[in-house]
A and B are shown apart, each in its own frame.
Chain A
Amino acid sequence: MTQAEIKLCSLLLQEHFGEIVEKIGVHLIRTGSQPLRAIAHDTGTSLDQVKKALCVLIQHNLVIYQVHKRGVVEYEAQCSRVLRMLRYPRYIYTAKTLYSDTGELIVEELLLNGKMTMSAVVKKVADRLTETMEDGKTMDYAEVSNTFVRLADTHFVQRCPWVPATENSDPGPPPPAPILVISEKDMYLVPKLSLIGKGKRRRSSDEDAAGEPKAKRPKHSTDNKEPIPDDGIYWQANLDRFHQHFRDQAIVSAVANRMDQTSSEIVRTMLRMSEITTPSTAPFTQPLSSNEIFRSLPVGYNISKQVLDQYLTLLADDPLEFVGKSGDSGGGMYVINLHKALGSLATATLESVVQERFGSRCARIFRLVLQKKHLEQKQVEDFAMIPAKEAKDMLYKMLSGNFISLQEIPKTPDHAPSRTFYLYTVNILSAARMLLHRCYKSIANLIERRQFETKENKRLLEKSQRVEAIIASMQATGAEEAQLQEIEEMITAPERQQLETLKRNVNKLDASEIQVDETIFLLESYIESTMKRQ
């Protein structure tokens, strides 16, 4: 784990779970697998707090445990999983586009709570949806269940590893930690529950705020004392499936940008057909025949078979090689080259970064070296048609930024420098790694800056929150316009200005984080795909 990744994990854990969890989590990421006592001793926190922190981390799938020899249980943190927390809003939004508000809330609850039983999810989501509906209307549990089942069928949610129901013939002592199993075929099996009920609307708390002491709400409210029917069957969001969806989206939009809408629709159809049949890490999809594709095109698309064949031929001949032809049976067998597609996307990202950072002439040199693979200094100047001095300057800028590297080719066995070729080349994998590392640093900087801005204006923020609360409570008890006006004037105009600026800055920083995370996704997918092939 690089320092940049650890720093970013530390910021994310602290922001979402507090300092204690952050301390334990970062310690585990740094030192690897550790038993409980070692963690408590090394971090100087009490055993009780370490246990609480570990509970939270395990609940959210950030830490796993294993029983080692001699009965020692060791805990291991998963750094990459912690970094996924940046992507939560994107997962939730995707669920919204695919399964509308119900799906959105299901995925949100699963992400916020880590692991949940189906009945708990359904109940909570139904309650939340009922809140947003008009008075008198409620959300039926059955509808939420249906959406849940659909999410499970398309693999967007999956079961967590569970304790196997073994029959212990020998009454030996139980193992120090449960050994969890997971089987491929049961991973998306939805238990047969008959969840009957409707969402409950929570009594609006505004009426109670006027000084009446509220009845003490127990922290874990259990309205019904019935046993939970699916106790022990926990579900979690399947992040890999979401990543597959993002990858497909990226490929389709790349095709749409490069060619036209129809080609992108064809590619989308092909990807959809391969969703369940092809594992997400495969270099290319299963071959699909042109006839199959024709039958599976979306209903509204009225293109004839010949036109489809022409499009497929065009796609297969394109130098980007997103689509490849693997045979001639069935009207032509076509595959989508997932690995090549990811490589093209990563390369496009690199080119775009070079262009925005160094200028379009540098970008021209970069693309040139990419295309020709290896070039000498003189050749770069000639091909790019850029004067020698500027070309040299640009090459060195990119070289020191590690976008371009030098390859030595000796002419003589003694590698004498005066008799060696020095060629400029782009190593996409290492450039992608360098850029990824930079992205982690960028996000860490963005988060730090946002926290700094918020801290600077803490007093003002709290004041405005108090004023808003006062106004809300006064409105609820029916105050006059003049009184409200008076309270609003407690915040002066320059203070309002300051608040506006703060809000704008925080929004910009947040939006930048989301943007950088998209780049991280592309680069990580490419690197992962490349490593799998080696």
Chain B
Amino acid sequence: MVNWTTEEKHAISTIWAKVDVDKLGAHTLSRLLVVYPWTQRYFSNFGNLSSPIAIDGNPRVRAHGKKVLTSFGEAVKNLDNVKAIFDKLSHLHSEKLHVDPQNFRLLGDNLIIELAASLGKDFTPEAQAAWQKLVGVVASALSKQYH
């Protein structure tokens, strides 16, 4: 069970209320694939990933980014039950997708950078700290079913 302070819960939900899930999801995944190109190994069937412009405009990247961030939204709405929420997804990422959990941490860090870029001064150091904790909890929950 993760212990969230009132301030952390408040920071997380306040920031989330300002988020455009479609845009943030697309930008986060796109940024991940450009900044850490080896992550493209999991998306070989996504079509054209040959340049930052191609990645940014790729409809499958956008759709998948939205999917990933929508999942994150579930965690935000259920902070006291994150592990249970990601149980099936963890199993999927381990058994079927074979994704190295390190990628969950890279994605989390990129999400935070995107939040800083889109929210500016609203993304205070305190808000960042709450979100760092959240991305860590999500990464850990997604790694739980690996064996």
Are A and B associated in one complex? no
Residues of B that sit less than 8 Å from A by CB: none
